[in-house]
Structure 1
Amino acid sequence: MSATVGGTSSHRPRSRGRGAHLALGRRGEELAARYLTDRGLVVLSRNWRCREGELDIIATDRTTLVVCEVKTRSGPRFGEPAEAVTEDKQARIRRITSRWLSEFGVGWCPIRFDVLAVDCSPGRAPTVRHIPGAF
């Protein structure tokens, strides 16, 4: 499933470095959260951190807890965004999800792990490709 988000592309500087990388990631997560809420999901947490790492977005469709890993790219230079969700990353996300469930006192519930691949290529409207049940 893929969608254009936000109408027109916004102009952003082409600066490189950690700051630009972090800004791109924040923009991708904002677009991903909007994408999910536009489709009826309720976002419960964003950028939840523990000592093992971070969960980008935790949402629910009112029957399933949906843990979303957001990967954003500004072009094809580093490959498809979803390719960055390696088996190690998947295992870490599962472990951190257990901590989130414990922290918020959530008992057993169905859980789905999704990937949202956001493309913010310059000169084009950003797109979100949603991969439900990616892992």
Structure 2
Amino acid sequence: MTPESKQELGKRGEQVAVTYLEAEGMKVIERNWRCRHGEIDIIAEDGSNLVVVEVKTRSSRSHGSALESVSPAKLARLRMLAAKWLTTRTETYKAVRVDVIALERFAGDFALRHVRGAI
């Protein structure tokens, strides 16, 4: 059995996050949206709110925890990306929220932490 690549681990983590968000009652409307300024991992609706979700997945803490790896600059960029995404849509939302889902996988299982309104 070969070790899982970073890309494979990231894709599995994003799928775990999508499954979790849907179980929490959110509607995932887009994944991996890209523009020239960056990427949003998951875009979801939580009632009348738009939620932009950054997913960080780690298989060890050698470079810090998954949550610690999301910098204030990254959160600010996500807010800017959310504004750009909204310019491509006709829907309106009551509020826009940036969430972080931090996943750490040890011994095959994922531990999930969801931070709502990370900024």
Query: TM-score w.r.t. structure 2 length?
Result: 0.92
Q: Which residue of 2 aligns with 1:13?
A: 2
Q: CA RMSD in A?
A: 1.5
Which of the residues 23, 45, 54 maps onto 1:60? 45
Count of aligned positions: 119
Measured after TM superposition, the shift of residue 96 of structure 1 is: 0.9
Measured after TM superposition, the shift of residue 26 of structure 1 is: 0.7
Query: TM-score w.r.t. structure 1 length?
Result: 0.82
Aligned-residue identity in percent: 41
Which of the residues 105, 110, 116 maps onto 2:95? 110
**Match of 1:134, SS?**
coil
Q: Distance in 2 between matches of 1:27 and 1:74?
A: 12
Which of the residues 111, 120, 127 maps onto 2:111? 127
- 2:117 partner amino acid: G
- 2:13 partner amino acid: G
CA offset digits 1:80-125 (Å, max 9, x no partner): 111111121112111111111011233353111110001122x242
Residues 1:117 and 1:88: Cα distance change in structure 2 (over 3 Å)? same
Q: Distance in 1 between matches of 2:105 and 2:2?
A: 12
Which of the residues 8, 12, 20 maps onto 1:35? 20
Higher RCO, 1 vs 2 (CA within 8 Å, ≥6 residues apart): 1
More strand by share: 2
- 1:125 partner amino acid: D
Measured after TM superposition, the shift of residue 13 of structure 1 is: 3.0
CA offset digits 1:33-90 (Å, max 9, x no partner): 1010011110011100001010001111222111110000001111111111112111
- Is the 8 Å Cα contact of residues 37 and 81 (structure 2) preserved in structure 1? yes
Residues 1:120 and 1:47: Cα distance change in structure 2 (over 3 Å)? same
- Is the 8 Å Cα contact of residues 57 and 102 (structure 2) preserved in structure 1? yes
- Structure 2's unaligned 5+ residue stretches are none
